[in-house]
Amino acid sequence: MRGLTIGPIESLRHAGKGYGSPASGRAMDEAKALGSTWVSLTPFGRVWDLAPNGIDLTFEAPFAENRANVLHAMAQAHARGLKVFLVPHLWVETGGWRALIDPGDDAAWERWAAAYKRFLLTWAEVAAEGGAEMLSVGVELRSFVTTGRAALFYPIIQEVRRVYPGLLTYSANWDDAEDTLIFGELDLVGINAFYPLADKDGAGREALLAGGRKVAEGIERLAAMWGRPVVLTEIGYTTRKDPAIRPWEWPDGMKDVTIDEEAQALAYEALLAPLLDSRSCAGFFVWRYYADPDDVSQEAAWGFSPRGKLAELVLRDAFTARWAADGPAILGDNLGRHRARTPGLFGWELSPPLF
């Protein structure tokens, strides 16, 4: 899976530029040109705080409109030969990380589980209707799936299986993936892989590559533990100095940032290069591009998007490289694979890759 996350346009002030729009079609074109074989789409549901009792399906626009737009975006991807990974997220209105959701006592957790089942089944039906090839049953729900509350989640997965025929995974946070209890019910182990690759600023290439090798070793152990391949449901680095030290930090909260495209590219290289030799890693999804590729208002210049930056060169080479998980090579398969040297341009060369 060589995947790009295509994020929604998260503002009503940008009408006609979200999922399913002509702008979204251009985003799919760019994903295809980059060498991607999959796209990830990320619809949202809203909860008020970290003690919710329900989920609002409205996000930026009425649910019926969002539903139609997501279906249209799936059709746009499929028309270009791209497979679709649908990843329904939860958005906490008052702030806070969804991993820390705690409705309260046993009765409150029962109500929350019922609400989450309605939310997930709604999007599972959309995934089935649109022919999405893979669905995430949750994103960073630590309090739900790493504790005894996971018993409430197993019946939800069974219900999803009844309405959705494709591959199922769950997007665990990188630091609780080994504690997640539901992977045995799913087809792939999923990780939002914002692993730190070093423990101090100023780490050089070799130190970062050593960190990447440790990540690859951990992925192999996790795959062996569950007897399933691992997919990195999100990977990403911001465009700043030392992005691989705390890669989960959100760009909106940063101040006095030094933009550093080379550091972002090096972080991608350090994570992905060791994974080329992994037979357990089923692929990855880059966080993230946007449904309107020309809308630069969605994040700061030091944000996660690698579009038009040096990191895009690393991604092009990773997308077009042969991974161990691809299986045996076919004679001549690599002829004509590109090695891009300039962001936004193709170089159809047979020169060595960047990593």
Domain boundaries, the chain: 2-326
**DSSP string computed for 142-174:** HHHHSSGGGGGTHHHHHHHHHH--SEEEEEEET
pLDDT at 332: 52
- Which residue numbers in the chain have pLDDT < 50? 335-355
pLDDT at 330: 62
Q: Please, where are the H alpha helices in the chain?
A: 22-34, 63-79, 106-130, 142-145, 154-163, 205-226, 261-275, 310-320
- Give the pairing type, strands 230-235 and 281-290: parallel
Asked if 237 and 194 touch (Cβ cutoff 8 Å), the reply is no
Q: How many CB atoms lie within 10 A of CB 12?
A: 9
Residue 72, classed as helix, strand or coil, is helix
Tally the C-alpha atoms within 13 A of residue 161's C-alpha that lie toward its C-beta: 10
pLDDT at 331: 53
The residues, ordered by sequence, that sit 6+ positions from 304 with a Cβ below 8 Å of its Cβ are: 236, 237, 238, 239, 251, 287, 288
Name the superfamily (CATH) of residues 2-326. Glycosidases (3.20.20.80)
d(CA 187, CA 251): 33
Asked if 144 and 171 touch (Cβ cutoff 8 Å), the reply is no
pTM summary value? 0.92
Q: What is the Cα 223 distance to its own chain's centre? A: 18
pLDDT at 287: 97
pLDDT at 333: 52
